[in-house]
Amino acid sequence: MGHRARGLSAGEGHDGRFCIRHLQRILPPCGEAGHGHAGGAPVSAPVSAPVASSHEDLQVQLEQAREQVRRLRMIIEGSAAGTWEWNPQTGQMRVNERWAQIVGYTLQELWPVSAETFARLAHPDDVGRSDALLQAHLDGITDAYECLLRMRHRQGHWVWVQDRGRVYEWDAQGRPLWMAGAHTDVSDRQQALAEARLAEERSRVTLDAVTDLVLSIGLDGRIEHANASAQRMLGDAAGAPLQGRQVTEVMQLTTEYAPLSPLDLTVLLDPDSNAVDLHADLLLVQGDAMVPVDLSQAWLHDDENRLRGAVWVVRDVTQLRARQREARQLAELDPLTELVNRRGFEAHLQQAIGRVERTGQAASLMFIDLDQFKPVNDTWGHLAGDSVLWAVANLLRHGVRDSDVVARLGGDEFAVILAGCSLRHARRIAGELLVGITGQAIPWERHRIRIGVSIGIAAIRPGMDVDGVVAAADAQCYRAKAAGRNTVCSEQKGDGGD
């Protein structure tokens, strides 16, 4: 109860006698003598038997009332509640021992409990709110009085108390006569809530401090939480919160190998789906730009271990991807010609086989072997041979599309992976390259070096492995050399070509 309503009289021990008194008030009175008239003269009715019966009934009812009070006391003691009763009209107030124990005192030490007692114990910031809530109940605005407030413990710290009560008796004019309630020590609960709020605030500050995009998403695709970085990168210019929006509305991912094909993000929220490779070279679409990113995902479960959503962490890996690309290039480039080396060639060929299997699109492999290259080294030296290799590499590089992969496999052997290219188209390209290479006169000192070339072509088909494709193209190149060099040989229709 609030300070204003705390009563004017001293507090008393609340030992159940008050409840018995009120129960007695509602019991029927003891038997009284009845009066009647017989023949116009008053006659007294016998009263002895009814009186005995009334006393017996009263005794039974009193025993029942005492049992109810005993059970009520057990319930109160078991709940560790500090009970109070208060008469708003007289100010009379009673509290039990537990009411005093909550703030570290005995009831005797607090006696008499009064408005001054509460004023001394209650936190000044809570008294006014308690008074307002109590008055709202007394005025009939609320069904019950309830207030969370702080009271000073005997040892000096503050105890959180949940105070609840309601009017249970009114006078003949409808005014509140008696009100009862209880104090419950909820300090542990409030401490746990404070610690939880602190932990939540620390987590929020930590998440907002990281540059990664962190999103908590429900299984329906709706964003439940977004950290500051996600809000900045994915939010609109007006700063509208991301919470509540569908992730597909604010975020679009694609891949480096298919940048024009957006990924279906909803499949990421299906634990049984592996349609999206989180380890692929992902790109986050930002207007006209595409930012290289990595995405990691962790599943969220409820208290019953049922899946309820996921947390996505999206990291900008622009610099990392660039360093990886540089390292890969250094590891996969031929230092003389700056073409892809054999290691890089095999990796690209494996990717080409995978694309053929996924899309069914045609692709071809071209093997190129220089004719009579050894005499160049023997006659003019290895520097002259390097000059020839560089010239051939440059012609191959500019003789095919940017999407094609040109590789030097070692010595005087080259290869070209032609994506989306049938055997017929590959033969046309090979013919043009043959003309270009054989017609080239490479200056060296006062001489001009000419070189011949043999080219073999094989189709890249689903189900093949790297060695199988290489062997097929190499066989066609061997056929070209056996046919007299300076020629092109390829698989025919019967060999699986076009």
Domain spanning 333-495: CATH 3.30.70.270: yes
Q: Which of 402, 329, 404, 335 has its CA nearest to residue 366?
A: 404
Q: Tokens 């599309």 — which residue? A: 401
* pTM greater than 0.85 (yes/no): no
CA dist 422 and 411 (Å) reads: 28
Structure tokens belonging to residue 454: 């043999």
Domain 210-320 and domain 333-495 have a common topology: no
Q: What is the DSSP letter of 315?
A: E
Query: Which homologous superfamily is 210-320 in?
Result: PAS domain (3.30.450.20)
**Greatest CA separation for the chain:** 166
Structure tokens belonging to residue 85: 């009763």
Q: What H or E segment, with its residue span, contains residue 228?
A: helix 228-234
For the chain, the structural domain boundaries read 11-27+51-191, 210-320, 333-495
Q: Tokens 């996969």 — which residue? A: 332
Contacts of 452 (CB under 8 A, 6+ apart): 370, 371, 372, 437, 438, 485, 486
Output the tens digit of pLDDT for each of the chain's 498 residues. Answer: 654 544 433 344 444 444 444 444 434 443 333 333 333 333 333 444 444 457 788 888 888 888 787 777 777 666 678 988 888 888 788 889 999 999 999 999 998 887 678 778 999 999 999 999 999 999 999 999 999 999 999 999 999 999 999 999 999 999 999 999 999 999 999 999 988 888 888 877 777 778 899 999 999 999 999 999 999 889 888 889 999 999 999 999 988 877 888 888 888 888 877 655 565 689 999 888 999 999 988 899 998 899 999 999 999 999 988 888 888 777 888 989 999 999 999 999 999 999 999 888 999 999 999 998 999 988 899 999 999 999 999 999 999 998 899 999 999 999 999 999 999 999 999 999 999 999 988 888 888 899 999 999 999 999 999 999 999 999 999 999 999 889 999 987 545 445
Determine the Cα angle at 291 with ends 287 and 296, to 5°. 120
Among the four given CATH numbers 3.30.450.20, 3.30.420.10, 3.30.210.10, 3.40.50.1100, the one describing domain 11-27+51-191: 3.30.450.20
DSSP lists the bridge partners of residue 274 as: none
> SS3 for 434?
helix
Active site residues: 412
Structure tokens belonging to residue 144: 């019950």
